[in-house]
Amino acid sequence: MNMRTGNLKKVVVLVCLLSCCGLMGCYNADEVKQFLLKPRRQVSGLEYRVYPPDMISIDSLHVQEIQGVRQRVRPDGKINLPLLGEISVAGKTPSEIEKLLTEAAKDYYEQVDATVQVVGYNSQRFYVFGHVSSPGPFAWTGHDTLLDVLSMARPTSMAWPERIIVVRGTTPQEGGCATTQPSGQYRMTGVHPPGEDNPRYKMTINLMAMVQSGDLANNILLKPNDIIYVQPNPFARVALAVNKIFSPVRASADGLGDFRELVRQVRWIDDGQPRDEGGDRDTLIVR
């Protein structure tokens, strides 16, 4: 048995061990409860609140100045409307904005009305990372399910669809916060421990159960700032580890090639000779 065959067998054994270790983990039904909305409904149960830079559309039958107006919420949380002037809308629902507009319009009209719709969901997002074709932030609309998102992100062949992780973080979820006394865990890992009054939740989802058996019990509705991580399967994990080990070797080889090219260019310049495109690129003669 030559050395290459022996190394191949070691890799196969390592893959099998990683696969067994991965399959030893069990799904925790209690984790799912923290992600379910109460009561469970076909809609999100969460009111969408407008923030910069959302886009809203305004219609009115009686107040012609705001009929058909579209406005993007400014960074200061306000919109500037004809006749009505500046209106602060950040953090308010469309129905609350309608009340603000009708109250402001009463100074000019006896009959007032306003209809507000969100036409650009730009402020609130959730995130997809890992082995997917389209990672990154996705606009949260209030009715985004896990299956919807994974269908758009499209896990790759290196993904582990039976072990997809969903994380719902603690507050504040935007802007960060100062840590006066970092814990030992933070010093070692850069992760703050969750607090009792502000916990973090994590669950593991089996996408294949949804696709193959139609079990949609874990097809949760997402909230803003939820994080979905599609981790690599055990075989891909080994391949990535091997690639990481040998990447410095490749980098050194590439660097040697760049060095040869540099010396070749210098020699041509010193000799006053044009570059020979048809010459042997693998031969280097240094005088």
pLDDT by residue (tens digit) across 145-156? 999 999 999 999
Classify each residue of 149-167 as buried b or exposed e, where b means 16 or more C-beta atoms within 10 Å of its C-beta: bbeebebeebbbbbbbbbe
Average pLDDT for residues 194-198, to the nearest whole number? Answer: 70
Residue 163 pLDDT greater than 80, yes or no: yes
Q: Label residue 191 exposed, middle or buried (CB < 10 Å: 0-12, 13-18, 19+).
A: exposed
Model pLDDT for residues 135-145, shown as the tens digit of each residue: 999 999 888 99
DSSP string for residues in 66-132:
GTTEEEEPPTTSEEEETTTEEEE-TTB-HHHHHHHHHHHHTTT-SS---EEEEEE--S-EEEEEESB
Average pLDDT for residues 235-247, to the nearest whole number? Answer: 80
For residue 187, the model assigns a pLDDT of 80
**CA proximity to 44, closest of 171, 226, 223, 169:** 223
Measured at the CA of 95, the angle between CA 93 and CA 100, to 5 degrees, comes to: 95
Beta bridge mates, 205 = 164
Average pLDDT for residues 180-184, to the nearest whole number? Answer: 72
Eight-state DSSP code of residue 35: T
Which of 27-36, 97-106, 229-238 comes out lowest in average pLDDT?
27-36
Residue 78 pLDDT greater than 80, yes or no: yes
Residue 270 pLDDT greater than 60, yes or no: no
Average pLDDT for residues 36-55, to the nearest whole number? Answer: 73
Residue 24 pLDDT greater than 50, yes or no: no
For residue 286, the model assigns a pLDDT of 47
Average pLDDT for residues 208-236, to the nearest whole number? Answer: 90
For the chain, how big is the Rg over CA atoms in Å?
Answer: 29
Residue 113 pLDDT greater than 80, yes or no: yes
Q: What is the rounded average pLDDT for all residues in the chain?
A: 79
Beta bridge mates, 198 = 195
Average pLDDT for residues 46-55, to the nearest whole number? Answer: 89
Residue 196 and residue 190 in contact, taking contact as beta carbons nearer than 8 Å = no
Beta bridge mates, 55 = 72, 120
Coil, helix or strand at residue 231 = strand
Q: Locate the DSSP E strands across the chain.
A: 55-59, 69-72, 78-81, 85-88, 115-120, 125-130, 136-139, 159-168, 201-205, 227-232
Residue 95 pLDDT greater than 50, yes or no: yes
C-alpha 77/C-alpha 123 separation (Å) is 11
Residue 100 and residue 90 in contact, taking contact as beta carbons nearer than 8 Å = no
Average pLDDT for residues 44-67, to the nearest whole number? Answer: 89
Average pLDDT for residues 216-236, to the nearest whole number? Answer: 91
Classify each residue of 106-134 as buried b or exposed e, where b means 16 or more C-beta atoms within 10 Å of its C-beta: eeeeeebebbbebeebebbebebebbbee
Q: Are strands 69-72 and 78-81 parallel, antiparallel or unpaired?
A: unpaired
**CA proximity to 44, closest of 118, 142, 124:** 142
Residue 166 and residue 35 in contact, taking contact as beta carbons nearer than 8 Å = yes
Q: What percent of the chain has pLDDT over 90?
A: 45
Give the pLDDT band of residue 20 (cuts 50, 70, 90).
Answer: low
Q: Are strands 85-88 and 159-168 parallel, antiparallel or unpaired?
A: unpaired
Residue 123 and residue 51 in contact, taking contact as beta carbons nearer than 8 Å = yes
Of residues 83 and 237, the one with the higher pLDDT is: 83
pTM value is: 0.67
Q: Are strands 78-81 and 85-88 parallel, antiparallel or unpaired?
A: antiparallel
- What is the CATH code for 55-120? 3.30.1950.10
Which of 2-11, 97-106, 179-188, 243-252 comes out lowest in average pLDDT?
2-11
Give the start-to-end residue ranges of the domains of the chain. Answer: 28-44+124-174+190-232, 55-120, 239-287
For residue 239, the model assigns a pLDDT of 84
- What is the CATH code for 28-44+124-174+190-232? 3.10.560.10
Residue 200 pLDDT greater than 70, yes or no: yes
